[in-house]
Structure 1
Amino acid sequence: MNIRMVLLASAAAFAASTPVLAADAIVAAEPEPVEYVRVCDAYGTGYFYIPGTETCLKIEGYIRFQVNVGDRPGNSVTRPNDSDWDAVTRGQVQFTAKSDTEYGPLTGVIVMQFNADNATDQDAILDSAYLDVAGFRAGLFYSWWDDGLSGETDDIGSIVTLHNSLRYQYESGTFYAGISVDELEDGFYQSGEGPNNVGVAFGVGGTAGAFSYQVTGGWDFDNEDGAIRAMGTVEIGPGTLGLAAVYSSGPNSYYSAAEWAVAAEYAIKATDKLKITPGVQYYGDYGVDGDDFGDGDAWKVGLTVDYQIVDNFYAKASVQYLDPDDGDDSTSGYFRLQRSF
């Protein structure tokens, strides 16, 4: 037997005596624990838990494109425009945080608004920022005087409705009542006065079946004048009838358009997507002459059309005609596209 045969025989004997072993199993690494975003349905749709907390957050807003037309179109973004039309774009985002406390839900709201008249004329503003708990609200927010009828014809609110304020409001299912202390630094001022003003306002409102109502008042301490307003709506036929009246003892930060005014509109729901709202308003002692109201009256008529293109996307068109006794008549309006999210 040669050496070759010896080696082969030895290898065969070793293979026969060695047990067959299975291949080593592949063990996957354990995944890192991940905390996925959880839906929070305690406060309505759109809320989710901030990871690692029990605070619920909602993010919403809109994108708006608007073309203003008229004798002096201007816009809410920049100064009045010399041409008879002006296009503007706005983006707004709102963050609402809520969490449960022993006093009820603690709410915090931040609203940021970004406006652009063109590529170089732009601004970013804090539109609202406030905290709310147990009926108390403190921060920068809109007053009850910002409310109005659903169309665009009525002119029954303050020229500036966003204030740093402290407010308490009681609410039940169909009724609310509240009082606020407002810093009025950018409203109406009499001759010789400066932006260091304070006011007290109240709001009462609610619903009763197809009828809704609101009564709002305010006293401007610096100007020593106040205003009161009442509004109501009721569903009649294919639409909703809205009526409003306002009286002001003198020009002040809560109302300074006229000594008194009445407004009416009828919002017709033509289809599920189309709403047509004609409106009219009459002013007594219209405008401001020095520190008092003017002597002439004025009237205004207009039409607003709302159309929902698809969910969260709608178009609005409005045209208004104003005819004062002591001034030139004017026509103005706008066309708007808005996508909400």
Structure 2
Amino acid sequence: MNIKSLLIGSAAALAAVSGAKAADAIVAAEPEPLEYVRVCDAFGAGFFYIPGTETCLKFGGYVRFQTNFQRGDGTTAGTSNGGTSDWDAFTRAQFEVDTRTDTELGALRGFIGFRGNADNGSSASSSVFVDQAFIELGGLKVGKFYNWWDDGLSGETDLLSSNTLFNSVRYSYDAGSFYAGLSVDELEGISFAGDTTTDNNVGISAAVGTKLGGAALQLVGGYDIDREDGAVRLIATADVGPGTLGLSGVWASGVNSYYALSEWAVAAEYAIKATDKLTITPGVQYLGNVATKTNTFAIVNADWSSNDAWTAGLTVDYKITQGLSAKIAANYYDEDNRPEFWTGFVRLQRSF
């Protein structure tokens, strides 16, 4: 009887324990559904939605290896490449982050461009800095970005601007085939030899342009308030035959932050599209009454000289494969009462 009672008691105890375990069983949480990256095609190729947001993001940039060359008196011509050497190699890395969001006020954009230059084996010659950083909403743009004066001809021969990167407040109107804009630019840190202006300078620049099929026209102007001088420039391009013809003219009332190379200049180029991968661009420019310069070719904040100058060169662009291109440029410069010289470079660039 004792054995029977013991067996029955053991079975009841096991049942009780089993029942308690069943009641207290741990249920695993349902896995969160994965949110795959969605393509954002509202702002062009390469954008995708940041997971969990309606903000579109795009990464871009390039890696560049370039070797510059010079022939002539680099000391007096101001074209020295790495001290006493007549050539200099350097590497550049550019990384860009572009964000855009549709809002009730229009497209809200934030852009950051980081740039790093490595010139030689010394770490002191390497630097990483913010190349551009700006906020854009509708037609309003604020931050550090390139001015319209950066929009030169496509080759590497023309000399059509002095400074093109400022901290600015800009408003633009863009109707597709026509655009216009006005910008207030901080000119702090821009100086010339013999400059006596204060370092809180401000400039005003403006641009109007039109694009009609294979032709484009742009008129840009800039006024340096402290120096009380300004410049205007016209650039016209048109598809002609197997290439694109580009013409430009510029005039300046005096040395200023936007254009300080000469009182006036005219430039021309013809970008020949030889094949889908190869473009050959000869160019030429004539500069009248170039800026007064020191012995090291530094521009002096003074009246224009009576010297004229001209430059001619050739630029060759070759697309090796998708995202990889090469560029070769060679230019000759000759100024009255100054030593003539050659400059050029060979560039290999991987863009993404």
* TM-score bucket of the superposed structures, by smaller chain: 0.7 to 0.9
Gaps of 5+ in 2: 1-26, 294-299
Gaps of 5+ in 1: 1-26
Q: Secondary structure at the match of 2:230?
A: strand
CA distance in 2, matches of 1:29, 1:203: 60
Whether the aligned pair in 1 keeps the contact of 2:68 and 2:81 (CA below 8 Å) is: no
Which residue of the other structure, out of 285, 288, 292, is the alignment partner of 1:288?
A: 292
Q: CA deviation at 1:52?
A: 1.4
1:202 equivalent in structure 2: 206
Which residue of the other structure, out of 176, 183, 186, is the alignment partner of 2:186?
A: 183
When the two structures are aligned, how many residues end up with a matched partner?
310
Q: How does 1:1-341 map to 2 (within 5 A)?
A: 30-71=30-71, 72=74, 81-119=83-121, 120=123, 121-158=125-162, 160-189=163-192, 191-289=195-293, 290=300, 291-341=302-352
CA distance in 2, matches of 1:171, 1:81: 46
Q: Secondary structure at the match of 2:42?
A: coil
CA distance in 2, matches of 1:56, 1:228: 37
Q: Secondary structure at the match of 2:90?
A: strand
CA distance in 1, matches of 2:229, 2:176: 33
CA distance in 2, matches of 1:175, 1:186: 33
Whether the aligned pair in 2 keeps the contact of 1:187 and 1:252 (CA below 8 Å) is: no
CA distance in 1, matches of 2:315, 2:199: 35
* Pair 1:139–1:331, CA change in 2 (3 A): same
Whether the aligned pair in 1 keeps the contact of 2:309 and 2:334 (CA below 8 Å) is: yes
1:23 equivalent in structure 2: none
Whether the aligned pair in 1 keeps the contact of 2:47 and 2:57 (CA below 8 Å) is: yes
Whether the aligned pair in 2 keeps the contact of 1:188 and 1:251 (CA below 8 Å) is: no
Q: CA deviation at 1:95?
A: 0.5
Whether the aligned pair in 2 keeps the contact of 1:225 and 1:248 (CA below 8 Å) is: yes
Give the superposed CA RMSD: 1.8
Whether the aligned pair in 1 keeps the contact of 2:201 and 2:225 (CA below 8 Å) is: yes
Q: CA deviation at 1:123?
A: 0.2
Greater CA drift, 248-257 or 180-189: 180-189
Q: CA deviation at 1:125?
A: 1.1
Q: CA deviation at 1:175?
A: 1.0
Greater CA drift, 27-36 or 136-145: 27-36
Deviations 1:229-256 (A, max 9, x none): 0000111111111000000000000100
2:8 equivalent in structure 1: none
Whether the aligned pair in 1 keeps the contact of 2:158 and 2:284 (CA below 8 Å) is: yes
CA distance in 2, matches of 1:181, 1:302: 34
CA distance in 1, matches of 2:337, 2:185: 33
Report the residue type matching 1:274 in the other structure.
Answer: L
Instruction: Please give the TM-score of this superposition, normalised by the length of structure 2.
Output: 0.85
Instruction: Give the ranges of 4+ consecutive aligned residues of structure 1 lying more than 3 Å apart after TM superposition.
Output: 27-32, 78-81
Q: CA deviation at 1:195?
A: 2.3
Deviations 1:33-88 (A, max 9, x none): 32222111111111111111111100011010000010449xxxx98532011000
Whether the aligned pair in 1 keeps the contact of 2:157 and 2:312 (CA below 8 Å) is: yes
Deviations 1:163-183 (A, max 9, x none): 000000000111110000000
CA distance in 1, matches of 2:83, 2:157: 21
**Identity, % of aligned pairs?**
54
Q: CA deviation at 1:118?
A: 1.9
* Pair 1:312–1:144, CA change in 2 (3 A): same
Q: Secondary structure at the match of 1:319?
A: strand
Whether the aligned pair in 1 keeps the contact of 2:70 and 2:81 (CA below 8 Å) is: no
Q: CA deviation at 1:28?
A: 9.3
2:13 equivalent in structure 1: none
